[in-house]
Amino acid sequence: MASDLLLKIGSIVLLLGGLIFVHELGHFLAAKLLGVKVLRFSVGFGPKLFGLVRGETEYQLALLPLGGYVKMAGDDPHEEVAPEDVGRGFLEQKPWRRFIIAAAGPGMNLVFPFFLYLAMSLGQNGKLAPGPMVGTVTPGLPAQAAGLRPGDRILSVTATGPEGPQPVRYFADLRDLVSPHGGEPLRFEVQRGDRRFDLTITPDREQEQNPIEVTTRGVIGVSPAYPPAVVAPVVPGAADGLRPFDLVTRVNGAPVAHAGDLEAALASAACRPVDLLVRRAPADDPGAPLARHATLQLAQVPSCAGGKPSFTLADPSVAAFVGGVAAGGPAARAGLRRGDAIVAVNGKPIHSYRDLNALAGEFKAGVAVKVDLAGGRSVTLEPQEQSYVDELTRERQKRVVLGFQPEQLQLPDPNALLAEQVRIRIGPGEAAGNAASHLGEVVRVTVLGIARIVQGQISFKTVGGPIMLFSIAAQAAQEGIESFLFKMALISVNLGLMNLLPIPVLDGGHIMTCLVEAVTRRRISVRAREIANLVGIVLLAMLMIAVFKNDIMRLMG
């Protein structure tokens, strides 16, 4: 318990203390570079623990580590500059010089994440990543329509333009190459066994919505992981002894790790009955973890019925079987049962839960929805409105629900489903490019998020304060060094951008003062500075009260 508390305290000190040190280091270096005298560089606030003097500057460590400051000669208009420091005081400097010193702190917070992202990128060398082999082909999407199959390896992607074929080393490369080209035909070089061939696939345009923006990306419907070998009879009784959501672990004695192994085993059986070893959830607790599932031997299970497979995959990525039904909800009242296979909703074909999710915006409370099931059965249900509390803002929201959900099996090792894993190999140049690209995107999204909050399009209740930062730092420390560095970079960008806001007493206020003086060619009076600083302090105090309230509301749940 004590060690856990020390880890949490240490993580917040390292994260916030480190970022504030970087911020103040920017001011310090810029002042030194421009010849402004720096009297003290303090890491932390409050009483001095120890310090030393080097040259004309005192370097000290103070008691409270969550802060720091740079004390420059002549930065207080009420203090006289010592005779020997005349010309080297901060407020004596021309506006452009003070602009550089003020902007250097936030600038360091915006540059520092580049080196964190660079370190994380180079740190991936030698680690395993999903390779370019296809595991899942989502039904109803362009990849399936073009003939791409599980087990195919995608070697390159060619878009219209002068670039030529772009190699696919990792599955992440495939996403990056396809995403910008929704609606545009792409040529894929594919390897299937010993054969190589080309396929032309036109990605669908898919909208992604988050609290900040709506974006459009291209998707073809593939995944680097096979679905788990979770099965269900095509129609009740088609596969004697098999029940919906049984996990097949062996076929005729051969081990089955995922759907790829199951498909190969059934192909070898050539429609003959098969002996299956399955894991089955307890009847009284369908959502129980895998450790509580019973192991059953099923002998001579029919693999075909009427020349067609008698059972099929029941994973929500490739099928739409009903997993859980909410008691008293719309689905339960309509007669939907666990194991029902949905084939259409309001006449629109349903291949997987992806299709159901895409229709979610069309459902209205009280407006009947017709659901067609495998075997020719149909039910009609009326969606209902459900209230819930948003985890981040603690605001009460409403959503429309149908009252059923997919079966989600929690496997002990999801990596066992990957079709292929390859070693990451990345050089310094590529790592630097990735870091710069990642940083640019984080800055863009953060600026957009701040603008949405100012415009009232995003609730201010999403903003957090010290308690939220403590929680983030503690969680990141427990997740490992990579998570810690990633969140440190994200908070550094936020800290840098927030400090650029034109609020007096913040760096943005100093920058605005410099710009006004540069345009008007006259100094702002001491009285005007005092009033502006007072306004800034009041604004910051109000902001801190508001974010503390948000933190406390989240803490209390």
**pLDDT tens per residue across span 105-134:** 999 999 999 999 999 999 999 999 999 999
The pLDDT assigned to 477 comes to 76
pLDDT at 352 over 60: yes
Burial 203-218 (b: 16+ CB within 10 A, else e): bbebeeeeebeeeebb
> Does residue 235 surpass a pLDDT of 90?
no
Interval 25-44 mean pLDDT: 93
Structure confidence by residue, pLDDT tens digits, 92-103: 999 999 999 999
As a whole number, the mean pLDDT across the chain is 89
**What own/partner pairs with CB < 8 Å and gap ≥ 24 does 465-471 have?**
465/544, 465/547, 465/548, 465/550, 465/551, 466/547, 466/548, 466/551, 467/548, 467/551, 467/552, 467/554, 467/555, 468/547, 468/550, 468/551, 468/554, 469/12, 469/15, 469/16, 470/8, 470/12
378 located within any domain: yes
Q: Are residues 212 and 155 in the same domain?
A: yes
Domain boundary among 288, 313, 338: 313
Task: Tell me, yes or no, whether 70 lies in a domain.
Answer: no
Residue type, position 5, single letter: L
- As a 3-state breakdown, the chain gives helix, strand, coil percent values, each rounded to 5, of 40, 25, 35
CATH of the domain at 395: 2.30.42.10
What integer pLDDT is reported at residue 85 of this predicted model?
83
Is the distance from CB of 329 to CB of 368 less than 8 angstroms?
Answer: no
Is pLDDT above 70 for 557? no
% residues pLDDT > 90 (the chain): 60
| 430 tagged catalytic | no
What is the tens place of the pLDDT at every residue in 394-421?
Answer: 677 888 899 999 998 888 788 889 999 9
Q: How far apart are CA 482 and CA 480, in angstroms?
A: 6
Q: Are residues 514 and 475 in the same domain?
A: yes
Find how far residue 240's CA is from the centre of its chain: 43
Sign of CA dihedral 503, 508, 514, 517: negative
In a domain, 78, yes or no: no
207 vs 166 pLDDT, higher one = 166
pLDDT band for position 140 (50/70/90)? Answer: very high
Lowest mean pLDDT among 114-118, 235-239, 491-495: 235-239
**Do 301 and 239 touch, CB atoms closer than 8 A?**
yes
Read off the pLDDT band of 270 (50, 70, 90): very high
Question: In this predicted structure, what is the pLDDT of residue 393?
Answer: 66
Note whether residue 160 is domain-resident.
Answer: yes
| Residue 36 is assigned to a structural domain of this protein | no
Q: Establish if 517 belongs to a structural domain.
A: yes
In this structure, the answer to whether residues 206 and 144 fall within a common structural domain is yes
Query: Is residue 15 situated within a structural domain?
Result: no
One-letter amino acid identity for 64?
Answer: L
Please state, in angstroms and rounded to a whole number, the distance separating the CA atoms of residues 171 and 152: 12
Both 458 and 350 in one domain: the answer is: no
What does the pLDDT average to over 346-373? 92
pLDDT value of position 1: 55
Q: What is the pLDDT of residue 355?
A: 93
pTM for this predicted structure = 0.86
Same domain membership, residue 476 and residue 554? yes
For residues 344-371, one letter each, b for 16 or more C-beta atoms within 10 angstroms of the residue's C-beta and e for the rest, the string is: ebeeeebbbbbbbeeeeeebeeeeebeb
> What's the burial of 284, exposed, middle or buried (CB within 10 Å: 0-12/13-18/19+)?
exposed
Among the listed residues 24, 395, 441, 517, the single catalytic one is 24
The domain that holds 279 is classified in CATH as 2.30.42
User: Residue 549 domain-assigned?
Assistant: yes
Structural domain for 380, as ranges: 324-405
Reported as a single tens digit per residue, the pLDDT across 301-343 is 999 988 889 999 999 999 999 998 999 999 999 999 999 999 9
Q: Which of 223, 257, 281 is the last residue of a domain?
A: 223
